[in-house]
Amino acid sequence: MVQFGEGSSGYLATPVSGTGPGVVVIQEWWGLGEHIQDVVRRFADAGFVALAPDLYHGRTTREPNEAEKLMMGLAMDGAATDIVAAASYLADHESTTGQGIGTVGFCMGGSLALWAATLSDDIVAAVGFYPAMPWERMSPTWSRYQDKAALLHTDEHEGGVNGPAVLAAEKAIEGAGGELSAYEYPGTDHAFFNDTRPEVYNAEASALAWERTIAFLNDRIG
């Protein structure tokens, strides 16, 4: 765990090589639990300097009702502060190389990861796994996506690439002069990447989404 910004903290992992592009990893509605920490370490193993800001400031849960309360109680200005501070921390970190900072988020964090690129000039590439928050809560300034890129991984159960949130993001990002690629994974449910949830985890889809994510980030910020 590291401290950064003004009162922000997060979980940091660096690659064995000592240097690599910077990626901000954004939590699901459960909080900064072991699964997200494991994802951070996986990014480090893939050659990235990865940092997951603790948006709930020490709180985690495995209960859906409590997770929903935590998500709905999350102040957008506070989340923005933590995410922007994390990106700035990585941009200035001695281990960080590359052409800007990337964000990767899951569920709630999938929407926040896309939103983050409208908040910080440091962030130039964003990856959202099954984004699950309404954009109006964030009031994104989509025009800041000019010359930036986004990648979406969507599950079939929630509408895939034709889901309302996906279509809204696609229209806004491309309208701003950015690029967006979206993939749908047949037979998947929400949270198919979370291997701590066997009822929804899909190993094949997860492996393909991970491969595409690493390729996208290496291309955009490597």
| Beta-carbon contacts of residue 177 (< 8 Å; ≥ 6 apart) | 145, 146, 147
Res 87: pLDDT: 98
Q: How far apart are CA 68 and CA 199, in angstroms?
A: 19
Dist. CA 124–CA 117, nearest whole Å: 6
Q: Give per-residue pLDDT as tens, 139-184.
A: 889 999 999 999 999 999 999 999 888 888 899 999 999 999 999 9
This model's pTM is above 0.95: yes
pLDDT per position as a tens digit, 10-59: 999 999 999 999 999 999 999 999 999 999 999 999 999 999 999 999 99
- pLDDT band at residue 204, thresholds of 50, 70 and 90? very high
Percentage of residues in the chain having pLDDT higher than 70: 99
Structure tokens at 184: 């749908």
Count other C-beta atoms under 10 Å from residue 206's C-beta.
18
Class of the domain covering 2-221: alpha beta
Cα 71 to Cα 31, 60, 107, 126, 208: the distances in Å are 9, 11, 11, 20, 28
